[in-house]
Amino acid sequence: MPQILDPLPEGQPDSIICCYVNGSPRVQVVRITNIPNWYFERVVFPGQRLLFEAVPAAQLEIHSGAIASAILSDHISCQDLKVETKE
């Protein structure tokens, strides 16, 4: 089960479990900032997988770069990162 440090805000639709893999050789900072009353940010090391809970409308921002600087390099819909579960 994913580690939930920042619970989703009340009143959001059903949550989804998402997986992001840092396939780059650099440390990345990933953020979700487009959901009101919720801020999500994690550091993801090269080759690391990050499992997290989000709402389908969330957009994951990928920030990567060198020491003391970071460049927004991508936006990914959390719906595209959804983990399919067997029921």
Summarize pLDDT for 18-37 with one digit per residue, the tens: 999 999 999 999 999 899 88
In angstroms, rounded to a whole number, what is the distance separating the alpha carbons of residues 14 and 54? 9
Place of tokens 């090269």: 46
The predicted model scores a pTM of 0.80
Q: Domain boundaries in the chain?
A: 16-81
- Spatial neighbors of 70 by CB under 8 A, at least 6 apart, are 29, 63, 64
**For the chain, which residues score pLDDT lower than 70?**
1-6, 9, 11-13, 66-68, 87
How would you class 4 by CB atoms within 10 Å of its CB: exposed for 0-12, middle for 13-18, buried for 19 or more? exposed
DSSP assigned state of 57? T
